[in-house]
Amino acid sequence: MSKIKNVLICGCSYSAPNTQSGWNKENLHNVWTNILAKNTGWQIDNFAIGGCTNHEISMRAIENITKKSYDLCIVQWTSLHRLWVYEAENNIDNYTQILPHPVGWNVDSGNAKELHKLYVSNYLNTYVALKHWFYYHQMLQNLLPNSIFINGMNRLVSDLETIVEQSWNHLEINKLNIPITIKHILNFDNNPDNYLKEKLNTLIMAYKSIDQTKTIGYNKSKLIYGMPNSIISDKADDGRHPGKHINQYVAEKVLEKVEKLYT
C-alpha cells in the first residue's frame, strides 16, 4: 500500500469528486473517491465526469497514462447505452452527449435531439454494447496491469454469472438455464440454436477474459456495485446518486483489493 503514490481514476458521476456526484459541496467528503483521497497518502488525478460513456472512460484512461506514470488506475464503468459525439464545425474536442439525454456543446441546434431520437428508436443494441464493454475492459487490463475495475451500473453481469457457473461451453443451448435478459439480447426465439450458441459463446468468452481478481461488482448480485445488500434509501443529496454507506462500501472494497494485489 505504501508503494502507491500516484493514482488515476476514470468513471462517470458516481466517481466524480464534485457536485456531479449528487452531493452538495459541504458533503463531497462522502464520495468514495474523496474518501480514498482523505484516508490514504495517494495523489489522485480524478477524471471522472457525469454522463461519461464506457468508450470515453477507456479513452480518458489511455490518454492520461500517456501523459503521466501511475502506480494504480481505478476504472469505474457506467451503464451501457451512453453516447457522446463531437461536432466537426468550429470545434476541437467539446462533446455533445446524445445518450442518455442531449446536453453539452451546441445542444440547442436541434441536431442532438434528432440524433437522440434516432438512436433510441433504432440503435440501442445491448448485445454489441455489452460485448464492446468487455473488450474495453480487456484492452485496459492488458494496458494497465496495476488496475482495479468497478462495475458501477451493469446488472447484466449477474445474469452472465448464472450462465458461467454452468457447463456453458459443452451443453446444448436448450439445456442451459439462460436468464430472460440474455435471451432478449440474443433475440432467442428468432434464431437457430447453432447461431445462438455461437453468439452466446462469443459473449461469455469475452466476459471470461476479464481478470476478476482485479474487479469489484462482478458477481451474481443485481444491486449497485454488486453489493451483497443495500439500503434503498441510501442516496446522495440529489436523491438519485449512491449515498454515504454505498460510497463507504466502495472505498473499503478498493482498499481491500489494493491490499491483496499490490502489497
Q: What is the CATH number of domain 6-81+126-155+211-261?
A: 3.40.50.1110
Supply the pLDDT for residue 1.
57
Calpha distance 43→91 (Å, rounded): 32
Calpha distance 222→154 (Å, rounded): 8
* Spans of all domains in the chain: 6-81+126-155+211-261, 87-123
Sign of CA dihedral 237, 241, 246, 250: negative
Q: pLDDT tens-digit profile of 40-84? A: 999 999 999 999 999 999 999 999 999 999 999 999 999 999 999
Q: Each residue of 147-162: b (16+ CB within 10 Å) or e? A: bbbbbbbbebbbbbbb
pTM of the model: 0.95
Running DSSP on this structure, what letter comes out for residue 238? Answer: T
Cell numbers found for residue 215: 474487479
The DSSP line for 90-103 is: T-SS--EEEESS-E
Supply the pLDDT for residue 2.
62
Calpha distance 143→124 (Å, rounded): 28
Calpha distance 9→57 (Å, rounded): 9
Calpha distance 177→158 (Å, rounded): 13
Cell numbers found for residue 143: 494496458
Q: Which of 68, 51, 212 is nearest to 137 (CA)?
A: 212
169 within 8 A of 190, measured Cβ to Cβ: no
Supply the pLDDT for residue 7.
98
165 within 8 A of 237, measured Cβ to Cβ: no
Q: Per residue of the chain (263 residues), what is the pLDDT tens digit?
A: 568 999 999 999 999 999 999 999 999 999 999 999 999 999 999 999 999 999 999 999 999 999 999 999 999 999 999 999 999 999 999 999 999 999 998 888 889 999 999 999 999 999 999 999 999 999 999 999 899 999 988 889 999 999 999 999 899 999 999 999 999 999 999 999 999 999 999 999 999 999 999 999 999 999 999 999 888 889 999 999 999 999 999 999 999 999 988 76
Q: Which residues contact 186 (CB under 8 A, 6 or more apart)?
A: 127, 178, 196, 199, 200
